[in-house]
Each structure stands twice: as structure tokens, then as C-alpha cells.
Amino acid sequence: MSMEWLNSLLGEFLSFDNDVWQRLLSLLEYDPMSPLTLTTGFFLFAFFIFGIGYFIVRNRAHLRTIYVVLFSLYFYYKLSGIYLLLLLFVAISDFLIGRGVYRRKVKELSTRPLVVLSVVINVAILVYFKATNFFVDTINNLYGSGVLDWESVVVPAGVSFFVFQSIAYVVDIARGEIAPLKRFSEYLFMLSFFPKMFLGPLVKAKDFIPQIQCERIVVSRDDFGRAVSLIAGGIIKYAIIAKSIGVLFVAPAFDGELGDGGVVSLMAIYGFTLQIYCDFSGYSDIAQGVALMLGFRLPDNFDAPYHSATITEFWRRWHISLSTWLKEYLYISLGGNRKGTFRTYLNLIVTMFLGGLWHGVGLTFMAWGLLHGVALALHKVWLKIVPGAKTLGRDMKPLCRMLGIFFTFNLVAFGWLLFMAKDMQVVGDMLHNIVYNFSVEDILPMVEKSSVAFILMGIGYMLHVLPRRADESLRCGVVRIGVVGQWLVMVIAIWMVMQCNMLLATEAGAAAGLPIYAAF
């Protein structure tokens, strides 16, 4: 009797165990409907498990590198599936090319052919994924639908970021700024480090490689507290403010679901202006915080960009790592300001135009790049012809600074209209609504209909106008409250995200997915 009971119990356990394993395996597989990000519940669980092993290997440099690389590659698999092979191809290609560049440099031979090879391979990847759909649609529109029967190309998450990172590595070797890495695992670490893998920030190899090769990892109490403040603040910006504004107001407004009133169009532009900042800067803060918890320091990517009083200042504060990359690897390569005034202006326009194409191949992105390129060139002209004109707002008198901030903010907001609109028809319609269909009477009904979104917009803009010292004081406060208080901050932030996700699922039908910049 006891043996029958034991066999029955064992059978039930094995059956239960098999069911559990099936569920676990399905969770571990790539799901295109549920891609992995730094704010998903699965990542939090996986990071906790990863952290236990990392604590054990953190001070064994080579083992630590292998361990983090494996987790990073799995992270990208959960994010993009089969496109993990593309990441590996780029890594192998430029690791080998980089070593070849160095050998030619030592022998005092021209490194140009290999650098060009790297650029061609990487740019070809970008062109295929970014431009194929645009070219196919253009030809079909010109010559009739179905002339080119081509399945739509899906852009791998963050392909632009790891491709740009890889190009910079080869160019830096050619310029003599760094020596090539001897271990492929270290290069794969630099390219695939999961906090920054698909949304940046782009890091300079000469700054990041020493961190990879450091024997001992030290995370001080201040570092941990700062990491918690970055993660909690980033979660609020990215997963609460940006997602809610986008789902509840901006997306419906751009799709025409909220009517064609000028007030709706104008507020949708201002809403997206805040959304894209909170989305990208919030995720960058989370990435910085996660990296800092592991003992790695990533550069700041944003510095209150809407405080800028000139377009030049804006690009020193917005997506700092990209603007630095464009300057060092594109603008300077085109000649920078070394070939006369006209070429300087032309190089600025070409650089920003190509920066627009980096975001996406389409008329709206081309127009966005040209807008910023021409604005930067005109600002340089302004500095030449106007005595006492300043590059940065902090050097201006208060009234000039206020006027400069107002003008720059609205110029940038108009640029974001080009960035968000699916085509130029939407741009034209929204501008037409603002000019010819603007009624103050529409404000109250609009706010009542999207009250949650407007409350969050107000909070977001108020937080953004706070001076830098207020932000630093808040982070110092999180450091001072100790570990227990810091974990409480994290729990509260995660709870708020869960409540927000339920709200979005209830009111909008589905919670928001990947960050905006994941498509670039």
C-alpha cells in the first residue's frame, strides 16, 4: 500500500515538474510579442539571478567578462531573436579588421582600405535594414503596387547603436587612440554590454576598455545609492510619464482619433516633445544605474536639453554620445571647420542630414536632419555677424536667455513633429490645423478627455525646469537614506510602474512596448 502511494505521489510530482519546465522553457525563449527591456518583470528576475553569480566572479576579470557576455547575448536574443547572429557577425568582422588595421599601422602601411571595408560592411547593414522598405515603397508608388514583391524588413532593435560603436572602434585604432583588444570576449563585452546594448549611450573605447580589464570591481555605498536614484528616476520618466503620455494622448492625437482641432495638434507636438525626452533619457538613466551597480560607469547622455538657449547648446545637451559620435567620426572626417567657412556650414548640414537618415530613411527624417543642420549653420552665421552673440545660454543676459530658450524649444518641438509623423501629409495637416483651426474653446474638453496624460505632462515639464542642483540634491538624499531606504525607493518605483501598466492596459487596451529609440 505504501509503495502504491509513493508511486502515485512520484507520478504527480513528475507530471507537475514537466508542466513547470514547459512553462519555464517558453519564458526563456524569444517572444516577438514580448521583447525584453530593462523594465520588464522577466528582466528583474533574471537580473537578480545574474547578480548572484556576478557577485561571485566580479573580481576575476576574464571569468567576469565571459559571464557578462553570455548574459548580454541572451539579453539580445530575448530582445531580437535571430538577429543575435547579426550582432555576432558585426563583432567578429570588426574585431578581425581592427587587428588588421593595427598590423598595417605598425608596418607604416595605409590603414585606409581596411577602415573603408569596416565602414562599407557596417553601413551596408544599416542601409539594408533602414532603407529597403523605403525604396520598395517608393518604386511601388511610382510604377504601381506589386512591381517589387518584397516582404517588409524588420529593423533589429538597436542595430544603429552597436554598428556605430563598432565603426568607432576600428577608426580609433587607425587614429592611434587605442590598441586592438587581444581577446574577442573583451570586444564582445564592449559591443554587447546589456545595459547600453540597444539604446546606448555610445561609449568611447578608450574610456570603456580599461573598465573591462580592471581586475577588481568596487561599488561603493555612494555608487549604489546613486545607481538606485538613477534607476528609480529613470523608471518614473520612462515607464510612467513617457509611456502614459504616449499611449493616452500623443499616439491617438497623431492618428487623428482626438479630432482635427489646432489645440489638439499643438499639444500633441508638445506632448511628444516631452515624451521622447522622458522615454530616451529615462531609459539612459536606467542603463547608467544598472551598469553602476555592476561597477561600470557610462557617460551622461542628457543634460536638461530643453534648458538650451541656442540650437548649438541643444546638441551639446541632447543625446550627447550620438552628437559626439557625429562630430568626431563624421563632421571631422568631412573636414570639420578646417576647409573654410562655406565648407564648415556644408559639413554641418551634411552631418545632420546623415544623422536624420541614421534614425530612418524617409522624407520626414531627411527633413528633420536638414532642419537641424541648417539651424546649426545659421547659428554659426549669427555668431559671426552679431557682436556679443553667445554659443551657450549660461553666457547670455537673463532676458536674451529666456527668449533664446523659448525660440530653441519651439524649433526643436517643430523638429519632433517631423520625427513623429508617419509622413509629410500628417505634418502638413497638423500645421494646417494649428494655423487655421485653432480654438481656445477646445482646450477644456481636450484636457478633460485626457486628464491623466495632461497631469503627467505638467509634472514632467515641471521636473525638467528644475535646476541641476535640485536633481543632485535628490540623488544625494537617496544616497544618505541607506540600503534599506534605497530598496524601499526601488520597491515603490516598481509598484508605481505596475499600477501604471494596469491603467494603460485598462484604458488603452495594451501596455506600451519598446522604447521609441529601440527602432533606431
Residue 498 CA to residue 495 CA, distance in Å, equals: 5
The CA-atom distances, in angstroms, between 317 and each of 74, 201, 333, 467 are 33, 13, 22, 14
Determine how many CB atoms are found less than 10 A away from the CB of residue 179: 15
The residue length of the chain stands at 520
List of long-range contacts for 369-375, beta carbons under 8 Å, 24+ apart:
371/411, 371/414, 371/415, 371/418, 372/311, 372/315, 372/415, 373/348, 373/349, 374/349, 375/311, 375/411
Enzyme catalytic residues: 359
Judge if the upstream peptide bond of residue 398 is cis by omega within 30 degrees of 0: no
| Type of residue found at 237 | K
Cell 482646450 sits at which residue?
Answer: 443
Residue 68 CB partners (closer than 8 Å, separation 6+): 54, 189, 193, 194, 294
Burial class (CB in 10 A: 0-12, 13-18, 19+), 41: exposed
